[in-house]
Structure formats: structure tokens, C-alpha cells
Structure 1
Amino acid sequence: MPEDGPSARTEQARHDGRPESDKRLILYYQTHFAAKDGREKLVPPMELVRNGAGVTDINLGAIHLNNLDDDQEKDKPLTINDTAPRDPKFRPMWDELSLIRDEVDVHAFVGGDAPGTFIRLENQFQRYYPLLRDFVVQYRMSGVDLDIEKEGKEMADPTGTVGRVIDALREDFPEDFTISLAPGARELTQDEGGLSGVRYRELYRTHGTMINRFHAQFYCTWGDMSSKDNYLDVVAKSGIPAEKIVAGVVTHNKHCKDYIELSKLREVIRDLRWECPGFAGIFGWEYHLAGESENDPTYEDAPWRWAKEVSKALRES
């Protein structure tokens, strides 16, 4: 379990063990426990390092800011999914994450599909933002990934709210703190807000220097990574440099049927590395069950294998 209250400016994760490449390989980590042999067992992040999977970043979440005026929620003002970070069930997860921080950056991904977090930040920023800031400090997050989805359509100004969160994070954390966003890929090319209502082209014009990366979702109707074409089109139409656009793929067919077999994904990655040297890398949604749609039994209960194959494609000579 992390110590209480380390300095945000001195306790960021180190980078000295990271693979020598400017290409990111990011795994979202939302399913932390899975049933095995009749018990709930940790989906172990340590396996990524132990097996040399080449992952540069883990995005841990989903972080939710809960209703402080609700009697059932106020005792857990911030949760990871539905559970308070200090719940004993998370102890093995925190222990493993603390052991791999020299080699993998750990970020908090905020929001996601469940509504409420960004609405609360819009309506009562001074009340709810400190919950996020203090979590980042206490649990030594290397960055924050802002994942605003359908709830943005219920907000008066989702673009301005996200910009305000970015401003506050840049004020509170050091220069090497990472801020990323997780739009649907098409949203980066639209002047009007898409899935989330956020106008990302406008946000890039006003806050582009403060944003490290866009984790663009090229799946589930929001984009297509079965060839290089959609990624190149998004780069061309968005006005955002490829160095800031990480291409997202699903790691299995559980969430939608857009899984790209590794043999094909490797080809696409090679094409992008050749035609778009600035190509920033790949993220996978999500770590749990990665590769199990390969119809290869060696991937069962070994999601690090999927990451290792993608890493090879990103970094091969």
C-alpha cells in the first residue's frame, strides 16, 4: 500500500527501465481481478515486466468522482470502478504496481463509460477536483488520462471543463507529468463534438502544448486499424502531429467485434512506421483477456503475450 501524502513533485515514477523506443505501448487496466479456480484473483501487472512485454505505460482505472451529497456515495468520494482505493482487496495490486514503476509509468484514467465524474467537475470544480489531485499525489500516478464519453452530451461545456482540468493539473504537477485524452478517433477530425461533445480540434488549439498524447480509439465504430489508412487520415485532418496520437485497438472481442489478429496488426504497425515515422504507438483496451481472441491456447491466462508481440512490431529493426 502506498504511503500517505508523498510529494507530487518528487515521487513521480522513474523511466530508466523503459524500452529504448519513442513508440508507446500502453495497456488500460480496468479489470483488476478475474475468477479463476473458483476464486477472484489479481490480473497481475507484474507479469508484464517479468516477461519483458515491452509495455511503457499502464492506465489504471476507471477513477470515478462520486456524489458527495449522496448518503451511499459520500463515504467513498473517489473509487476505482466501485471500490475505494484503500480497500484491502487492492493491496496486492498496489504492491505489484510499486515494484514495476522503474520500468512502467502508471497513470490514472478518469471517467470512462460510467457517467458523473465530469459533470461534477463542471458543476462544482473546487469541490471535486481536489479529490482527483489528492489521489494522484497519494498513489504516485505519473499522469492522468481524461476519458470523457457519453456524459459529455449532458454537460453545458464539456470542452471548457476538460480544459479547466488540464489547466489545474499543469499548475499542480511537474513538467514531466503526463496528461492524455482518450477520444474516439473520429472526434479528432470534427469541429463539432462527437461521442463526448468535446471539440478536440478546439481543445488542441487552446491546450495543445499542455497535452502529451491523444489515445485515439480506433474501434467500436469510432475508427479502424485494420489498415494504415484511417490513422493517416486522422493525422491529416486533425492538425495534430502523429507524435501525439496513439492508436487504440481492442485486445479481444469481448467489448466489440473489432479485434485485429496479431498477424494483421503487425503488418499495419510496420506500414505506419514506414509511412509515418512520427507514429506514436499503440494502446490496448484492455490488459485482461488480451490475445484470447487469437484462438491460440498459449494466450489463455497470459495477456502479457499479446503485449510482447505488439512491442516487437513497434520496435523491430
Structure 2
Amino acid sequence: MWFFYFLLPLLGLLRISLATSLNATLDLQDEVIERSMGYTTEPSRLVMYVQTFKTPKGEPLSLLPLLQHDTKVTHIILASIHLHDEPGEIRLNDDPFHAPTWDNIWEEVKTLQMNGVKVMGLLGGSAGGTFGHLNGTEREFYSYYHPLLSLIKKYNLDGLDVDIEEKVEISVPLRLINALRRDMGPNFIITMSPLASALTNALGQNLSGFSYFDLDAFATVPGSEEKLISWYNGMFYGGYARGPPFFQLIVAAGWDPQRIVMGVLDCSNDGQANGFVRIEKLQDTIRELRGMYEGFGGVAGWEYHDAGDE
């Protein structure tokens, strides 16, 4: 029964009703919501990506049902943060962080954090260009990095998911990750989101242009073996989440299963046509992986606004 408490909240999270979301109240923003089980004590991570901030009906999306329905979500990642050509021009999707469209979201973020949920930002993603801006001289790098750092601090983000889907040199993530660790300290969460195939071997299919094996070896605290990258939200889209073998292949390649989170699609409309795995099959896969690896890293869902729709 030890794995049941992970599977039950997973099912609740992925099947949450959009009608319930529409009826959610914002009156909870200044209230610590009582729950029977704390998020920070869950044995595995349950990560939810949020990129679309409207319901399928076009109405504003609330994050609070993730608390109200006791989904046991541990981390929420807001996507996507983009660095534009002008240093200091940084947008969450199409709008600056301070735009009125985000006012309710930032208030809800405070409530989530008060209840133990870690709220992070995704930097980069499928829209290219962000990491090209971080690939210059030291002066050029810091002209883009310092405004980003200021926003992370101002909006009290708990971490950053560095999602590199453009070809860059390994020095780009290394410089960024080291700077974040230096400036934000060891409690700041740094994750990355490669294709799952990029974790099977150094030559695995990859969107980033560098080896994640090499990056992870280099990205350590100077003078120690402590990893700077907290874990990897691997994109296990397609058949990769239809059973344990692909996760086993990654572990066999040398990765600690505690540092690998299985990223899946929450809805068939959220990615490639064959990328969606139904909850019943996903449940079987998680049950098997939890049986194989006591330290199974968890599951990440892309994305929240239509989670549970077919």
C-alpha cells in the first residue's frame, strides 16, 4: 500500500475537472489550506507544468484547485520565460511579469507556497532564442542574466527549469547554472527538461546540442561531487511511458532514479498524436517503477489547463 498514496494523488491531479476549476474561488489567497498529508513529505515528486493560463473555454485559469482537491502536487512550473533581444525585456509567454494579466496568478503563487508547494519558472522551451542571448561575452551574459535574477527574487520563485530546445554549447547551461547556484544558494531548485532519449546515452536524440552526461559531470559544486542540477524532467512522450523499460534503460546508463522525473502529456492535445498515455496504463507503469526503485523520482504532467481531457 505504500505506493497507493502516490498513485491516488496522481490520478486526482490528471483527472481534475475543468468545471471544478471554473468554480474555484480566489478567497483562499490569504489562507493556509489544511490537508491531511503535507506536500513536502511525499516520497516522489508530482510536478505540474502550467503554460496555458486560460481554460479550454477561454476563461481565466486558477491554480487553487490543485490545493482544494488535495492533489498532492509538489512542484508547479510556470512556462515559459523568454529573454528577448533587448537586455531586460523578459516575458512570461507574451507578457511582462508585471502585466495585469498575471496579478491573480502571483497572488495564487503565494498561497501555493504557503501550503508547501514549490513554484518554479521554465526558462526557454520550444521558442528559440533565449539561450543564444546567454552565449556571449561575460558582459553580454550578465546584461541578460542580472534582470532575470532580479525577477526570480522579486517574484520569489523557488527554482528554474532550464529547458533548452535549441543547439548551444555546453558552456551556456554551465555558466547559467553556476551563476544561479552562486546567487540563489543551495535551496534554489535547478532542473532541466531534456528528451528522455538524451538520457539513455551520450549520443541519444537531443534537442540541446550537448551531452547531458557531460553536463551533469561538470555541473557540480566546486571541490565536491554535489550536483548543481537537482533533477531532470525527462520528456517521456510517446511509448516511453507505456512501461518501465525506457526508464530502466536510463538508470542502466548511470542515472540515479531519484533524479529522473518521468514527464508525460496530460491530454492527447498537448503534444504529438502518439504521445499521450492513458491514465490506466500510466498507473501500471508507475506501480512497476515504484516497485523497482524505492527512490523513483516522480512524474511531471504537461500541462494543467486541459489535464484529464482525452
2:295 is paired with a residue whose SS is coil
Pair 1:178 & 2:178 matched: no
Determine the structure 1 residue equivalent to 2:77: 59
Deviation at 1:104, TM superposition (A): 0.9
Determine the structure 1 residue equivalent to 2:47: 26
Deviations 1:120-140 (A, max 9, x none): 011231111112211110100
Deviation at 1:35, TM superposition (A): 5.2
- Residue 146 of structure 1 aligns to which amino acid in structure 2? V
Counterparts of 1:35 and 1:252 in 2: how far apart (Å)? Answer: 12
Determine the structure 2 residue equivalent to 1:140: 156
Pair 1:109 & 2:127 matched: no
Pair 1:195 & 2:212 matched: no
Counterparts of 1:121 and 1:26 in 2: how far apart (Å)? Answer: 27
Deviation at 1:42, TM superposition (A): 2.0
TM-score norm. by structure 1 comes to 0.79
Q: Structure 1, unaligned stretches of length 5 or more?
A: 1-15, 69-73, 294-317
8 Å Cα contact 2:80/2:124 also seen in 1: yes
Counterparts of 1:84 and 1:109 in 2: how far apart (Å)? Answer: 14
- Residue 78 of structure 1 aligns to which amino acid in structure 2? I
2:179 is paired with a residue whose SS is helix
1:120 is paired with a residue whose SS is coil
Deviations 1:17-70 (A, max 9, x none): 42532300001111112353xxx42221111001101100000120000111xx
Q: How does 1:216-255 map to 2 (within 5 A)?
A: 216-220=234-238, 224-237=240-253, 239-254=254-269, 255=271
Question: For residues 285 and 35 of structure 1, do their structure 2 counterparts lie closer, same or farther at Cα, with a shift above 3 Å needed?
Answer: closer
Deviation at 1:234, TM superposition (A): 1.1
8 Å Cα contact 1:178/1:212 also seen in 2: yes
Pair 1:122 & 2:139 matched: no
- Residue 115 of structure 1 aligns to which amino acid in structure 2? G
Determine the structure 2 residue equivalent to 1:162: 173
Pair 1:267 & 2:284 matched: yes
Counterparts of 1:118 and 1:189 in 2: how far apart (Å)? Answer: 24
TM-score norm. by structure 2 comes to 0.81
Question: For residues 92 and 164 of structure 1, do their structure 2 counterparts lie closer, same or farther at Cα, with a shift above 3 Å needed?
Answer: same
8 Å Cα contact 1:58/1:107 also seen in 2: yes
Q: Which runs of 4+ in 1 moved over 3 A?
A: none
Aligned-residue identity in percent: 33
8 Å Cα contact 2:56/2:305 also seen in 1: no
RMSD after superposition = 1.6
8 Å Cα contact 2:264/2:276 also seen in 1: yes
2:96 is paired with a residue whose SS is coil
Determine the structure 2 residue equivalent to 1:79: 91
Counterparts of 1:19 and 1:141 in 2: how far apart (Å)? Answer: 16
Counterparts of 1:84 and 1:24 in 2: how far apart (Å)? Answer: 29
Q: Structure 2, unaligned stretches of length 5 or more?
A: 1-36, 221-226
Deviation at 1:187, TM superposition (A): 0.7
8 Å Cα contact 2:56/2:306 also seen in 1: no
Determine the structure 2 residue equivalent to 1:95: 107
Aligned length: 261
8 Å Cα contact 1:66/1:77 also seen in 2: yes
Deviations 1:229-263 (A, max 9, x none): 111111111x2201100011001111222211111
- Residue 300 of structure 2 aligns to which amino acid in structure 1? F
2:291 is paired with a residue whose SS is helix
8 Å Cα contact 1:24/1:282 also seen in 2: yes
Determine the structure 2 residue equivalent to 1:287: 304
